[in-house]
């Protein structure tokens, strides 16, 4: 009796997997796994990409709503500040230039 490798079985129990059929099945499964693994990897990548796009779109929607709320708050604060401040007429001299008269002479 042989002792099984750790990946097949417990090391303290006898190994019954050393016949020819198990070796060929193991090679078959290995070849099958090598053929399927790239496809599985691509499928997982596509699924993660789609989930990432959904999460990113939700983050954009949340950011847009927060931006709109902040804009509304700032707009209201500006409008309330303008009401509190009384309007004063502008003081100082106003010098008007009449460019048409200068060009005619």
Which pLDDT score, from 0 to 100, does residue 8 have? 54
- Is 51:40 a contact under the CB 8 Å cutoff? no
Q: What is the pLDDT along the chain (105 residues), one digit of tens a residue?
A: 455 555 555 555 555 555 555 555 688 888 888 889 999 999 999 999 999 999 999 999 999 999 999 999 999 999 888 877 666 766 777 777 777 665 665
The values of phi and psi at residue 3, to 5°, are -90, 130
Residue 80 inside a domain? The answer is yes
Which pLDDT score, from 0 to 100, does residue 73 have? 96
Which pLDDT score, from 0 to 100, does residue 83 have? 76
Residue 104 inside a domain? The answer is no
Q: For residue 32, what are the domain limits?
A: 2-85
Residue 98 inside a domain? The answer is no
Residue 79 inside a domain? The answer is yes
Residue 35 inside a domain? The answer is yes
Residue 91 inside a domain? The answer is no
Residue 40 inside a domain? The answer is yes
Number of compact structural domains in the chain: 1
What's the predicted TM-score (pTM) here? 0.47
Give the gyration radius of the chain's Cα atoms: 40
Tokens of 71: 């804009």
């Amino acid at each position: 009796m042989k002792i099984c490798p750790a990946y097949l079985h417990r090391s303290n129990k006898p190994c019954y997997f050393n016949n020819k059929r198990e070796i060929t099945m193991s090679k078959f499964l290995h070849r099958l796994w090598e053929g399927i693994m790239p496809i599985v990897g691509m499928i997982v990548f596509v699924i993660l990409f789609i989930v990432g796009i959904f999460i990113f779109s939700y983050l954009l929607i949340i950011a847009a709503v927060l931006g709109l709320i902040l804009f509304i708050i700032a707009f209201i604060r500006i409008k309330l500040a303008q009401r509190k401040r009384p309007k004063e007429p502008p003081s100082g001299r106003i010098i008007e230039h009449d460019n048409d008269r200068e060009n005619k002479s």
